[in-house]
Structure 1
Amino acid sequence: GLNRITRKNRYPIPLIGNLIDQLRGATIYTKIDLRNGYYNVRIAQGQEWLTAFRTRYGSFEYLVMPFGLTNTPATFQYFMNDIFTTWSTSLWSST
């Protein structure tokens, strides 16, 4: 299917050990819902048809990024890095 013909995005995913090292000495923590975070990344307009699938109830297309596509982890990591880089420069640099 789609994963077989998709050009792979080799965006680097950080090692958990490195992320934990960055938390050393922090006094305030938060958490985010990563599972539902995927569902906040919109499929590019006009490309939804590429995610089409059929069931006995009809044909459907994803409007948001589903689990299982080959580039989903890399795409999500890119957005997380973009968001947290913005936050880190405004929050952590003030301490």
Structure 2
Amino acid sequence: MASEKVTKAVWVCVDYRNLNETTSKDEYPMPMVDMLIDGAAHNQILSFMDGNVGYNQIMVAEKDIHKTTFKCLGAVGAYEYIVMPYRLKNAGAAY
């Protein structure tokens, strides 16, 4: 039997349902697909942004950091996000 390296990791799952219910939705209309294609048609280079790391680059406003507070079982203290966490109502619109 091959030995496996066991890595201990903590996965944090924060329930933002109450915060999302009290937050008003930012709505931004999607641009017309034809306009996007026409705008890119005459360029020599087309680049795509890596969306996986995009959320972690949006800073949470200092006055709103306390709204992202959570605590982990077995850990001492509370934690706050200073960058945009996933699952917030307006994360997609802000991104």
Report the TM range for the smaller structure's normalisation: 0.5 to 0.7
Higher CA-based Rg: 2
1:69 Cα deviation from its structure 2 partner: 0.5
Q: Where does residue 36 of structure 1 map in the other structure?
A: 53
Asked whether 1:67 is paired with 2:86, we answer yes
CA contact (8 A) 1:39 1:64 kept: yes
Sequence identity percentage: 33
Q: TM-score, normalised by structure 2?
A: 0.65
1:34-82 deviations in Å (ceiling 9; x for gaps): 2211111100012101011121124211100111100111111xxxxxx
Query: Could you list the runs of 5+ residues in structure 2 that have no partner in the other structure?
Result: 1-17
RMSD: 2.0
In 2: Cα distance, 1:19 partner to 1:43 partner = 29
* Matched residue, 1:11: 28
Tell me: CA distance 1:64–1:12, structure 2 relative to 1, closer, same or farther (3 Å): same
Q: Give the match for residue 24 of structure 1.
A: 41
Using a 3 Å threshold, how does the CA distance of structure 1 residues 4 and 17 change in structure 2: closer, same or farther? farther
What is the identity, as a one-letter code, of the residue corresponding to 2:85? P
Change (3 A) 1:17 1:50: farther
SS of residue matched to 2:84 = coil
C-alpha distance in 1 between matches for 2:56 and 2:79 = 16
Structure number with the higher helix fraction is 1
Q: 4+ residue runs of structure 1 moved beyond 4 angstroms?
A: 15-18
- Tell me by how many angstroms 1:15 deviates: 5.7
